[in-house]
Structures are given as structure tokens and as C-alpha cells.
């Protein structure tokens, strides 16, 4: 076996996630993690640990009803580690203690935060961690104004848990005390909770490169192409999602139709649009949504958040590159041009690879759910597709399949969540037997007709 195989950044990142998931699984299996004081099954613990580490939010048990404070703390730690990345956290602590980063460590850290390469990686790592801590603490403080009056001292932990989960786009909550699997359905009339959660989701979802770029704007007086694309596409998707949710569900009495007043209906529509960007919280009954809304939600989830963020999906920059490639081909251009800038062909090829691999994973997972659950559990194709996309895009929105899914479906979703968090291309590269670019061959050119 090649001596450099274990030094591949993609492989090291994949292994780090696997180690965290396995550790979390073992901790969640302990009787101390279960409120009944018994061992949680390996599959259920693995599913929960994978969902938390991959910041997904799909759950087998209600987080409050099943897990003790110890178990909830384990899940919270997995969310934080999974959202920021074990490599990123390790790099930060090495920087804090003054350990100098070698070229290999720098390359690994750049890959972990999806750096564009030209940024001071040590400074970027500090920005990532400090931004996360400041935003999460600020979010917790805002949420505490609602939860401390309601739950007393216990409201502090609820606020911290929700803030970390929202910023990391995880979708886990400990509000099951108000009704199992209720998520934020009781808070449509609480603007502080709803808009704080939305803001945390958006900040976590735009990516640390964008945050760093925006913070540096006072000095540089310019934003990179990447940042401009992320901000513009994010805005477009949020607005479009809000309009579609409102138009489709406005009169549905089982979702937003029963909410009092235009304000709550608008807030619920906006919240679902934002949450579909890989967050996984819900303020309405998702299973009761119209099928067309579920399909549209699946599309939003599939697009996901930005690279280098706490979110998943194929990433909105991938969407932008593919869309503009089609536009440029239609105009007769030889290159992909975005905002008067030529996009590197490698980025175009990678975008197409991500799209195809993602579609394969989602299709396989959907097919597996349909085959194993369509008859006995009466699962529709739309619901199977919704759950499959939610797993791959590490969103965590569920129509109830995860709670009843047989073992084979859970393993399919576990695999889907892992690939979605690591990244389809990174996962494939981590499985490669040769390092990228190690094979040098002279290949003759061939002609093939397209279209």
C-alpha cells in the first residue's frame, strides 16, 4: 500500500469523523446515557452519533425523552465537534499552545475549512473558532430571555444547546418536555426564539470563509467572488423558499393555515425556508405538508449551504457554477463566467462530479427506503425522497421515517449522512488507492458527440 495513503487530507478528515462517531456511539450506548438506565442498542446509538457528528438532526428517539443530561451533553459535544471539524479544533489548540504548523498540517487545515488557499490559515482557524464561540454565546444569551423565565436555571442549558445546534445547522433540540418530536412547533408566536434561531442558521450556513471575508472588508474594501456568490444565492434561495412555502401552505390547516395572523404565517414560512438550508428545525408538522411542498423542500435541502460552513448539501456554489456553465454554453462561451470572472475548469469538473455523486447517493437511499418500507410502513415515494435528501444534505427534517425505519434503512441513512458531511468527492478520494495526481499517463485524445 502506498506510504502516503494515510496522509491524504480527504482521508484524514473522513477518518477523524469516523473516530468521533464511533466514540460517540460507545458513550451513548452506556446506561448512564439512557433515562431508563439500560444499554441503548448499537444501531440506535450509531444512528444518533452519526446524525449529531454529521450535524444532521435525524433522530430515532426524542433527544429529551430518551437521553439523560449526560447523553444530551455527549450529543452536544458531537454537534460542536462535527460542526467545526475535529481537524479544525485540533489545529486551533495547536496554535493556542504555540505549536508551529508544518506544511502537511496547513494543507490538512485548509481542506478542513475549505480555504481558498491564499488565506493565512492560522488566522483563519482562529477566526473560525472565535466566531463560533462568540455567535453561539450571543445566540444563547438571546434565547435565554425566553427560556429562563419559562424553565428557570434549566433554561440556560436549553438555550446553549439550541444555540450550538442552530449555529452548527444540526437541528437537535431538547424541547421534548413540551411534546416528543415537537421541535419548535410551539414557538411560532415567539419572534425572539424564531428569529434568533434563523440568524444562527444563516451565519453558520454561509461558511467561515465568507465570515472572514466580511470581517476583513473594512481593511480590504472588497469581497471575493466566492463571498459574493454565496451571499447572493443565499438571499435568492431564502426569499424564493419563503414565497413557495407561503403560497403552497397558506391555507393548509395542518401546517401554517391554522396559525393566527399573517405575522406568524410569514414567520413560519421564512423559518422553513431557512431551516431547509440544512438546519433541521421545524415549526410546523412536516408530514402534513402538501407533496409539492415536500418536493420543493427536498430541492432546497439538496442545494444546502456554503462550502466551509457547518451545513451540508451539494453547496450553493456548486449550484451557481453548474447553472452558469449551462448559461455560458447556451451563449456559446468556452468558459464558465460568473460576475465577469472566469471560473477554473477544475471547479466546473468538481461541481459536476459532486452533483452526479450526490444524485447517486440520494437515488440509492430513496430506492432502499421504498423497497423496504413502501408496503409494510405505507411510505410514499415523495416521503422516501424527502428523508433521503434530508439525510444526505445533513438537514435532519423528517416526515417520521427515521423513527420507524428498519435496520437496513438506518444504515443507508447513516452512510448517506456520512458522505454528505464529508463531501461526495472527498469521500471518493478518501477511498482511492492512489493519491490524486500520482498517475502520470499520456492519453490520446478522442472525439465524442454531445447533445
Separation CA 194–CA 329 (nearest Å): 42
Give residue 180's Cα distance to chain centre.
23
Separation CA 321–CA 113 (nearest Å): 20
Cell of 90: 485540533
Quick one: pLDDT at residue 93? 63
Virtual CA dihedral for 204, 78, 412, 57, nearest 10 degrees?
Answer: -50
Say how many CA atoms lie within 13 Å of 211 toward its Cβ: 27
Contacts of residue 66, Cβ cutoff 8 Å, sequence gap at least 6: 34, 35, 40
* Segments in the chain below pLDDT 50: 1-6
Helix ranges, 67-207 (H): 69-84, 86-96, 103-112, 121-151, 154-167, 191-206
Whether the CB-CB separation of 336 and 324 falls below 8 Å is answered with yes
Quick one: pLDDT at residue 434? 58
Quick one: pLDDT at residue 440? 55
Quick one: pLDDT at residue 6? 46
Whether the CB-CB separation of 252 and 290 falls below 8 Å is answered with yes
Q: Tell me the pLDDT tens digit for each residue of 327-377.
A: 999 999 989 999 999 999 999 999 999 999 999 999 999 999 999 998 788
The CA-atom distances, in angstroms, between 116 and each of 216, 271, 308 are 15, 31, 10
* Residue linked to cell 408530514: 287
Q: Which of 21, 84, 12, 19 has its CA nearest to residue 52?
A: 21
Contacts of residue 381, Cβ cutoff 8 Å, sequence gap at least 6: 366, 370, 374
Amino acid at each position: 500500500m502506498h506510504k502516503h495513503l494515510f496522509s491524504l487530507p480527504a482521508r484524514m478528515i473522513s477518518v477523524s469523523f469516523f473516530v468521533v462517531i464511533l466514540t460517540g456511539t460507545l458513550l451513548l450506548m452506556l446506561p448512564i446515557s439512557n433515562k431508563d438506565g439500560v444499554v441503548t442498542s448499537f444501531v440506535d446509538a450509531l444512528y444518533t452519533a452519526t446524525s449529531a457528528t454529521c450535524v444532521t438532526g435525524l433522530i430515532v428517539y426524542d433527544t429529551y425523552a430518551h437521553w439523560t443530561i449526560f447523553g444530551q451533553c455527549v450529543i452536544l459535544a458531537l454537534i460542536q465537534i462535527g460542526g467545526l471539524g475535529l481537524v479544525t479544533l485540533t489545529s486551533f489548540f495547536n496554535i493556542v499552545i504555540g505549536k508551529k504548523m508544518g506544511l502537511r498540517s496547513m494543507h490538512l487545515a485548509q481542506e478542513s475549512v475549505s480555504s481558498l488557499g491564499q488565506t493565512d490559515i492560522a488566522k483563519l482557524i482562529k477566526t473560525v473558532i472565535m466566531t463560533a464561540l462568540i455567535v453561539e454565546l450571543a445566540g444563547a444569551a438571546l434565547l435565554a430571555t425566553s427560556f429562563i423565565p419559562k424553565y428557570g436555571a434549566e433554561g440556560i442549558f436549553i438555550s446553549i444547546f439550541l444555540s450550538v445546534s442552530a449555529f452548527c445547522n444540526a437541528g437537535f433540540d431538547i424541547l421534548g418536555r413540551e411534546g416528543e418530536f415537537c421541535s419548535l412547533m410551539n414557538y411560532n408566536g415567539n419572534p425572539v426564539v424564531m428569529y434568533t434561531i434563523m440568524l444562527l442558521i444563516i451565519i453558520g450556513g454561509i461558511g467561515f470563509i465568507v465570515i472572514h471575508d466580511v470581517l476583513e472588508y473594512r481593511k480590504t474594501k472588497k469581497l471575493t467572488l466566492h463571498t459574493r456568490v454565496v451571499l447572493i444565492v443565499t438571499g435568492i434561495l431564502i426569499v424564493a423558499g419563503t414565497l413557495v412555502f407561503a403560497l403552497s401552505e397558506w391555507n393548509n390547516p395542518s401546517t401554517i393555515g391554522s396559525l393566527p395572523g399573517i405575522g406568524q404565517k410569514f414567520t413560519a414560512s421564512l423559518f422553513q425556508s431557512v431551516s431547509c438550508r440544512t438546519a433541521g428545525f421545524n415549526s410546523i408538522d412536516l408530514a402534513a405538508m402538501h407533496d409539492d411542498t415536500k418536493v420543493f423542500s427536498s430541492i432546497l435541502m439538496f442545494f444546502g449551504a456554503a462550502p466551509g460552513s457547518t451545513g451540508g448539501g451539494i453547496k450553493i456554489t456548486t449550484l451557481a457554477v453548474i447553472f452558469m456553465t449551462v448559461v455560458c454554453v447556451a451563449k456559446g462561451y468556452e468558459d464558465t463566467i460568473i460576475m465577469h470572472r472566469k471560473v477554473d475548469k477544475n471547479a466546473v469538473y468538481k461541481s459536476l462530479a459532486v452533483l452526479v455523486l450526490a444524485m447517486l447517493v440520494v437515488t440509492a437511499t430513496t430506492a432502499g427506503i421504498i423497497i423496504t418500507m413502501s408496503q409494510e410502513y405505507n411510505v410514499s415515494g415523495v416521503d422516501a425522497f424527502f428523508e433521503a435528501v434530508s439525510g444526505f444534505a445533513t438537514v435532519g427534517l423528517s416526515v417520521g421515517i427515521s423513527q420507524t425505519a428498519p435496520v437496513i434503512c438506518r444504515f443507508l441513512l447513516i452512510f448517506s449522512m456520512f458522505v454528505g458531511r464529508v463531501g461526495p468527492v472527498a469521500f471518493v478520494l478518501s477511498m482511492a488507492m492512489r493519491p490524486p495526481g500520482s498517475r502520470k499517463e499520456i492519453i490520446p485524445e478522442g472525439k465524442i458527440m454531445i447533445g
